[in-house]
Amino acid sequence: MIFQEYAANLRALFNSGSEIDASPVDIVYQFLGEPLHLYKDISIPPGSYRFVDHSISCTSAGNRRITYTGSLLWGGYYTGTLKSATVTAQYRPNPHLAVAINNTLNVFRLPQGNFNIELAGLQVSYAFTRFLNLTTFLQADTAQTQAASANIRLRYTFRPDSDLYVIYNTGTRFQSLSAGNPVLLREEKFAVKVTYSWSR
């Protein structure tokens, strides 16, 4: 696979802390050496492709109890077009608890077939102290038959820039919209990770 991308980006920052980001032109050149599987029996054939898309997003000020982000992307996608909309909202009722929801809708229009993929998630984070917090993330999409997944992560900061993580994952590895044909696996994983900084 050969991939090149050229993009123009603009950003507007406001005194409130909110911002607007835009990419008026994003040009992608790509060569696929093998078919790119997207959805069910729909694939992009091997070959050279050039397509252009555009995007805009807005982010609210981060010092509010309710925060949000939203983005839109539209334009070419290999042999057809792609429109994508994402919305994320977070609610912090107190300094310890944060609840966030997100939803992404991808609308594909291709000669090989038209289809939509929706991805939704729920994240709950609780900080017991400044040094100990627990995050749970649940996610589901409409592209797979077993599309639900969960991630649970406990993080303990035992000194500055040094952390202990206990992580549990279960679910399907979701297919990316980027080039490649990843194998979709249903898996459960338990991991313990330690980071340590020697700086003082």
For residue 83, pLDDT beyond 80:
yes
Query: What is the distance in angstroms between the CA of the first residue and the CA of the last residue of the chain?
Result: 44
Of residues 36 and 97, the one with the higher pLDDT is: 97
> pLDDT band for position 178 (50/70/90)?
very low
Average pLDDT value for residue range 90-111: 95
Residue 200 domain-assigned?
no
For residue 122, pLDDT beyond 50:
yes
Residue 70, phi then psi, degrees to nearest 5: -150, 145
pTM of the entire predicted model: 0.79
CATH number of 62's domain? 2.40.160.100
Of residues 176 and 143, the one with the higher pLDDT is: 143
What pLDDT, on the 0 to 100 scale, is given for residue 176? 44
Residue 56 domain-assigned?
yes
What pLDDT, on the 0 to 100 scale, is given for residue 28? 92
What pLDDT, on the 0 to 100 scale, is given for residue 175? 45
Of residues 157 and 144, the one with the higher pLDDT is: 157
Average pLDDT value for residue range 173-186: 50
Q: What is the pLDDT of residues 20-46, one digit of tens each?
A: 999 999 999 999 999 888 888 888 999
Instruction: Please give the structure tokens belonging to residue 106.
Output: 């991808």
Percent of the chain's residues with pLDDT above 70:
90
Q: What angle (nearest 5°) sits at the alpha carbon of residue 138, between those of residues 152 and 165?
A: 15
State which residues form the domain around 115.
2-195
Question: Phi-psi region for residue 123, left (φ > 0), alpha (ψ -120 to 50) or beta?
Answer: beta
What pLDDT, on the 0 to 100 scale, is given for residue 41? 85
DSSP string, 61-130: -TTSSEEEEEEEEEEEETTEEEEEEEEEEEE-SSSSEEEEEEEEEEEEEETTEEEEEEEEEEEEEEESSS
Structurally, the chain folds into a number of domains equal to: 1
